[in-house]
Amino acid sequence: MKKIVNLLGLYQPEMVVRNIASRDAFEGDVWSLNDFYWVYPWLKKVERNFELHPFRHTRNEMKTNKSRYKGDWKRAFRERVDDLMVFDTRWGKEAKRKVSLFDYKKLKEKYPIDYASSIDCMIAQAIDDGYEMINIFGVQMINEHNIYGGGLLKAIDECRRHGIDIRFDYEYLLRQQRFEKQPSYIETLYKNAG
C-alpha cells in the first residue's frame, strides 16, 4: 500500500465544492496548518499541523480582533493534533504540549525549492518522510496568492524528481501564470522565531 499524505490548506471553498466534510474522506495521513480547527471544525484529528509563524507576532495579533486564532486554540492543538511542527517552541509551551521542530536548514540543503509558503514546507517534509503520494487540497494560489505560486510549482517539480505522485487540481492554472522571484517568506519566519 502506498504511503499517502493529504495536505490541507485553508482555502475552504474547495472543500465545499468537493463536499468534503469528514476525516473519512481522505485515504492516508492528513496534515494541516495554522488554525485549521477554525476553518474545518469537522476535522477532529490531524496527524501533523504546521504552525511556522513566530509566536510573539501571532500572540500580539491575538490581542486584536484581527486574529484568526479564535476559540480555544490551545485545546485544539492539544486534542486534535498528533504532531505539532513549529519553528518557535513557545507554541508548545503556551499550549502545554510537545512539539517537533521543523528542520528548515536540513530540508533546504536537501530539497532546492523556494520555501515561499507553509505548503512548500509541508511538501519538503513529506518528501523527507518518504511519502509516495501527496494530495493537495484547500490551496488556491491563483491571483491573490500568486506571490507564492512559483514556489509551490518548484516544490511540485521536486516531488516528481523524487518519483512522488503529487496531485494538485490547480497546477495547470498555476503554470499559466508568471511569477517574480520572491524573498523566502519561510526564511523570514525562521529568522524571527527565536
Q: Contact, 133 vs 166, CB < 8 A?
A: yes
Q: What is the pLDDT of residue 139?
A: 87
- The DSSP string of 101-120 is E--HHHHHHHS-----SHHH
Q: What is the pLDDT of residue 5?
A: 98
Q: Are strands 100-101 and 133-137 parallel, antiparallel or unpaired?
A: unpaired
Torsion of CA 40, 41, 47, 51, to 10 degrees: 70
**Cα–Cα distance between 70 and 170 in angstroms, integer?**
29
**Would you say the C-alpha torsion 70, 76, 82, 84 has a positive or negative sign?**
positive
- What pTM was computed for the model? 0.88
Q: Which cell numbers in the block locate residue 12?
A: 475552504
**Cα–Cα distance between 160 and 168 in angstroms, integer?**
12
**Cα–Cα distance between 21 and 37 in angstroms, integer?**
13
**Cα–Cα distance between 188 and 191 in angstroms, integer?**
5
Q: Which cell numbers in the block locate residue 127?
A: 518528501
Residue 50 has φ and ψ, to the nearest 5°, of -100, 115
Range 4-192 has CATH code 3.90.1480: yes
Predicted confidence pLDDT, tens digits, the chain (194 residues): 689 999 999 887 667 667 777 788 899 999 999 888 888 888 899 999 999 988 877 766 666 656 566 678 889 999 999 999 999 998 899 889 999 999 999 999 999 998 888 999 999 999 999 999 999 998 877 665 556 888 899 999 999 999 999 999 888 888 887 776 666 667 777 777 65
Domain map (residue ranges) of the chain: 4-192
Q: Which cell numbers in the block locate residue 104?
A: 528548515
Shortest CA distance to 137 belongs to which of 108, 103, 169? 169
Q: Contact, 48 vs 83, CB < 8 A?
A: yes
